Amino acid sequence: MASRGLSPNQKRNGAAVATGLFRKLQERGRHVTGNGRGYAGLRITVLLTSFLMVLGTGLRCIPVSDLTLKRRLIHGGQLLNGLAGPTVMNAAPFLSTTWFSADERATATAIASMLSYLGGACAFLVGPLVVPAPNGTAPLLASENSRTHIKDLIETVLYAEFGGVCLLFSATLAYFPPRPPLPPSVAAASQRLSYRRSFCRLLSNLRFLMIALAYAIPLGVFAGWSGVLDLILTPVHVSQVDAGWIGFWSIVGGCVVGIAMARFADFIRGMLKLILLLLFSGATLSSTWFTLTCLNSITHLPLTTVTLYASCILLGVFLNSSIPIFFELFVETVYPVPEGITCGVVTFLSNMFMGVLLFFLTFYHTELSWFNWCLPGSCLLSLLLILCFRESYDRLYLDVVVSV
């Protein structure tokens, strides 16, 4: 528990102070909600994000015959979609703090963050199942896979994505309240640091930098590895469709396990570090299993569809399910730094490591066994960083003191 080690007098004094603060903040919350100003950040941000997605997917659907112009429109659309990405990836902890009590936050963070990954899981299937592969990894009827036919199928996928994004934007515009009528906890109503002080606090906090690297390195490597999973599995005679199914089930499994772990963290508070240690122990073992299996000519391990599926899916389950646990630990470690800034920094670091890895892939793409070895190496490094990390629960402590 966050209040462990406090004397009864300290608990009573802390409760009195925090309760008074909570009442003042509740009154402030009523006033802000009543006049409708000063706290519309989440609504405005989500509206802007969904609008950028509408523009991005719409640009890709503009019918033009000039291939150069078409390429520029697609790149522009992808850029707008990329600009919308930080909100989708980082808003979950802020959403859970704003709307949910202390014993529901981890679960809410897990559901909100994992739902975005389900879209990525669907992407693993939509491409291979809707658009046939033009290469030899999926020997379908080559006579029917003309360039015009494939082009029409790709445009169908783009139009479907545009329609879905427009529906989402319309729903957000119709109803997306910025906050509940009353704050669900002290942390939800408390003041946060300014942007400048937040970045100074993050960059000077050694514990945060340690746990941020423990998140960014393996998750960045895994994101880059997942993006070229079909290329990695092609030498071991796994088709593009099978690679898509592997990616799909690894993300779906990670979502299920991540929500279950977060619910467990809500029931037994103060266990985030232990959960991460267990998950990354499993990730290290499963990534090592996969890497050695791909080198079966040296290790003589059985290379079968079952072993490839099992090792890849377990790796995805362990790593993907750690994301909401990391997010909660980040916020607890650096509170009262705003959740969006904290998660934005670690997401930037993760994307940076992914970009560096893909940059090297452009030069060393003929043989990809080195890419596989990056997975167990990054998971092991993260495991050591988590082991050395000293956890604290500043936000949880503030909420628990009020209920003492």
Residue 329 pLDDT more than 80? yes
The model's confidence at residue 41, banded by pLDDT at 50, 70 and 90, is low
Least confident of 5-9, 40-44, 73-77, 352-356: 5-9
The model's confidence at residue 53, banded by pLDDT at 50, 70 and 90, is very high
The model's confidence at residue 19, banded by pLDDT at 50, 70 and 90, is low
Q: What is the pLDDT of residue 379?
A: 94
The model's confidence at residue 290, banded by pLDDT at 50, 70 and 90, is confident
Residue 11 pLDDT more than 70? no
Residue 211 pLDDT more than 90? yes
Residue 89 pLDDT more than 50? yes
Q: What is the pLDDT of residue 141?
A: 45
Tens digits of per-residue pLDDT, 116-134?
788 777 777 777 777 766 6
Q: What is the pLDDT of residue 32?
A: 38
Q: What is the pLDDT of residue 16?
A: 52
The model's confidence at residue 230, banded by pLDDT at 50, 70 and 90, is confident
Report the predicted TM-score, pTM, of the whole model to 2 decimal places. 0.78
Mean pLDDT of 348-354: 88
Please give the mean pLDDT across all residues of the chain. 80
Mean pLDDT of 324-331: 92
Least confident of 2-11, 13-22, 41-50, 288-297: 2-11
Return the percentage of the chain with pLDDT > 90, whole number.
20
Rounded alpha-carbon distances, angstroms, from residue 195 to 13, 62, 93, 328: 31, 39, 17, 20
Rounded alpha-carbon distances, angstroms, from residue 393 to 333, 352, 360: 6, 28, 38
Residue 42 pLDDT more than 70? yes
Residue 404 pLDDT more than 80? no
Tens digits of per-residue pLDDT, 140-169?
444 445 677 777 788 888 898 899 899 999
Residue 70 pLDDT more than 90? no
